[in-house]
Amino acid sequence: MTWRDRVRAVPAPWLVTGGIVSVQLGAAIAKHLFELVPPTAMVWLRLLTSAVIFLVVVRPDPRGHSRRDWLVVLGFGVALTTMNWSIYQAFARIPLGVAVTLEFLGPLVLAVVASRRARDLVWVALAGGGVLLLGFTPQGLTVAGVALALLAGLAWAGYILLSAQTGRRWPGISGLAVASLLGAVVLAPPAVLDAGSRLLDPTVLLLGAAVGVLSSVIPYSLELVALRRIRAGTFAILMSLEPAAAALAALVVLGELLRPTQWLAVACVVAASIGASRSSRQHPPTSEPLPG
């Protein structure tokens, strides 16, 4: 039995769960390495790794694409890069579980807006209640960290909107490959300025590549297989577990302990996201390759 046959034999929900665990484990490891590799350099290594692997696998053909196609994939790349850069900057300032919880407000609000039903505003209210709970436990939080996490959520919403257009104009994952390459090119100068000669350290390069595989390549590959065998609504509901998975990964890898009120805030956002996903099953799933 080949590895592809083994992957196909795994139930789709477990593939999605595996992708969630992989991306949040990669995030926790990345944060653990920030003293060795600054956040901007770590994001660059992640994007560079995913770009190289995706380009080798899909080999996108740049010919035959209109100016509009390139503008769409450029916007997609900006959203992808902003999302990854801002959430890693948030990780450096506030607990990982809190950062991902705040980031998740972006796709959650987008799902409610897409549903176009006033009754779904209850999910926004529930998520807002979770954010208010975070305000009651400001220990470990900074204004900059919260703002960066919210910026990541806004970029995630943009990523979701542009991913559909990119998919229609660029076959398969070729658009994602091009967007990742664009992000790696844009972040190269600040990454070099931030990390300097440390980027020449083989250990740093290896660790950055590992984070790229864990946070981008593995989760996206598992999600791609799962989406062929699972309903979009079910997929979105499973993806709603991301904030809780992030908090658990931070607990195991980093020893970050959330206060009971913060755990309740995470639960509110997860519940709101599940509710919004159930209400908008006819819309595309709101996944992060590659989050975050």
Distance (Å, whole) CA 279 – CA 287: 16
The CA–CA distances, whole Å, from 197 to 85, 112, 205 equal 20, 46, 11
CA-closest candidate to residue 43, choices 202, 191, 145, 242: 191
Helices (H) and strands (E) in the chain, counts: 14, 0
Q: What is the pTM of this model?
A: 0.86
pLDDT tens digits for range 84-129: 999 999 999 999 989 998 998 888 888 777 776 777 778 878 888 8
- Which pLDDT score, from 0 to 100, does residue 121 have? 78
Distance (Å, whole) CA 141 – CA 101: 13
- Which pLDDT score, from 0 to 100, does residue 287 have? 44
pLDDT tens digits for range 183-213: 999 999 999 999 988 888 898 899 899 999 9
Q: Which residues of the chain have pLDDT under 50?
A: 282-289
Distance (Å, whole) CA 236 – CA 36: 35
3-state helix, strand, coil in the chain (%, to 5): 80, 0, 20
Q: Using an 8 Å Cβ cutoff, are 21 and 184 in contact? A: no
- Which pLDDT score, from 0 to 100, does residue 282 have? 46
Domain ranges of the chain: 3-279
